[in-house]
Amino acid sequence: MVGLVLGLTLGLLAGWSVATGGPLEAHAANLSWWIDGLVQPVGRIFLRIIFMVVIPLIVSAIVIGVAEMGDARTLGRIGLRTLWVTLLLSGISVVLALGLVNVLQPGRAIDETRRVQLVAAYGGASEKSIECAKEAKPISKTLLDLIPENPLAEAANAFNPDNPGGGLLAVMVFSLFIGVAMALSPPERVAVLRGFFDGVFEVSMRVIGFALKLAPLGVACLSFSVAARLGLDIFRTLGFYAAVVVGGLALHQFVVYPVVLVLLARRSPAEFFRGAKEAIVTAFSTSSSNATLPVSLRVAEEKLSIPPRIARFVLTVGASANQNGTAIYEGITVLFLAQVFGVELTVGQQLIVALMCIMAGIGTAGVPGGSLPLVVGVLLTIGVPAEAIAIILGIDRFLDMCRTALNVTGDLVIAAVVAKGESSVTREYQPVA
């Protein structure tokens, strides 16, 4: 927050002085020199550290996430029910996000001349992808490209908007296949491979940790250059964006979940939310699904009367593999930034963003800021300059608190739905006394 406030204030001041002939006017040329020569490169170091590990992070996270879900085989019906409710809720959340951002268009709130300046300032990447969008691939080819011919080539070109293949999404699908295959293999034969992916994930998260240590400085630098170029427009645009994200999360929390609770879990939503309150508040204050896990487990068993074996399985897997809040946030953020930078996405490309967000939900670590590397990856894939993330980074912590609360509620909702199915099955054998 301090980095953001400092960067924005100084940036606004510098931009305003230059525009209105203030004390800095004589230094207008110097200002661009400072931005291009010093401020932006420092901000970019922060981003580069994240880029470096995006691919290994995504691959290892999805492989492990899917393999864990796959272990559900041993749990049979519980695993399958968890899987389908997870997919259903993730699908609804992404549709909701894309619908909201397309209807409300928060990224278009920005002044046209400002947009042109932004695109010019951040290089031709977005112009290039505007051209790419014009010659978009037919849907059939888009779908076929989901299965990569050469996963390594896709990984190497994942951030190249001119890449003719499936890019990052193809890498995600590849990881999905490896995860499923790993779950179906005898555990002792794949133990080393599993350990390897665990290690890659651990190390990548540490590197992200290094980047986050630099975050205050990086955010200050990136927001300085954005504010100097965008002026006061930044507040209007950012406020609108944050309102759309919070609105989307609220709709899912207070409309979608209650409907699912009534229809699939046959529970009173009011009673459910009363019971789940403690876990939701913990998620909100820690911004971490993983850190909330112990509280969710207790709440599920003690307050929501979910059988321990179901709670343990669903909540543990869900803490990293079911993140509806994250999916909503990623969908809105990516399309918002595409709108800000005037990158027009075809229906096919939006479909790709949707699929990527669903997979990103599986691949996001349940830690504060866990989804940032994924957002950066998706942005680069569709040709929005990654510096764009500077616009939203400063307010990310608040949005993280909100989306984590939804992530954790979602896990408890799934546990309730799965428990309902189980109780009706057991009742056939053990009539309630």
For ligand ASP, the binding residue among 86, 175, 322, 407 (CB under 6 A) is 407
Closer of 35 and 332 to ligand ASP (Cβ): 332
Which of the residues 338 through 397 are near ligand ASP (CB under 6 A)? 364, 366-371
Which of the residues 21 through 50 are near ligand ASP (CB under 6 A)? none
Q: How would you class 284 by CB atoms within 10 Å of its CB: exposed for 0-12, middle for 13-18, buried for 19 or more?
A: middle
CB of 249 to ligand ASP, least distance (A): 11
HSE-CB for 236 with a 13 A CA cutoff: 12
CA dihedral angle for residue 394, residue 397, residue 403, residue 406, rounded to 10 degrees = -160
Query: Is residue 333 at the binding interface for ligand ASP, with CB under 6 A as the rule?
Result: no
Which of the residues 263 through 302 are near ligand ASP (CB under 6 A)? 287-289
CB of 283 to ligand ASP, least distance (A): 7
Closer of 40 and 86 to ligand ASP (Cβ): 86
Q: What is the DSSP letter of 113?
A: H
Q: Judge contact between 154 and 165, C-beta under 8 A.
A: yes
Query: Is residue 413 at the binding interface for ligand ASP, with CB under 6 A as the rule?
Result: no
Residues whose CB is less than 8 angstroms from the CB of residue 257 and which lie 6 or more positions away in sequence, other chains included? 269, 409, 410, 413
The count of residues interacting with ligand ASP (CB under 6 A) is 16
Closer of 79 and 368 to ligand ASP (Cβ): 368
CB of 370 to ligand ASP, least distance (A): 4
Which of the residues 82 through 101 are near ligand ASP (CB under 6 A)? none
Element (H, E) at 200: helix 187-213
Radius of gyration in angstroms for the set of CA atoms belonging to the chain, rounded to a whole number: 22
Q: What is the 3-state secondary structure (H, E, C) of 129-195?
A: HHHHHHCCCCHHHHHHCCCCCCHHHHHHCCCCCCCCCCHHHHHHHHHHHHHHHHHHCCHHHHHHHHH
For ligand ASP, the binding residue among 404, 410, 412, 415 (CB under 6 A) is 404
Binding mask 302-331 for ligand ASP (x = CB under 6 A): ---------------------x--x-----
Q: Can you give the binding site for ligand ASP, defined by CB under 6 A? A: 287-289, 323, 326, 364, 366-371, 400, 403-404, 407
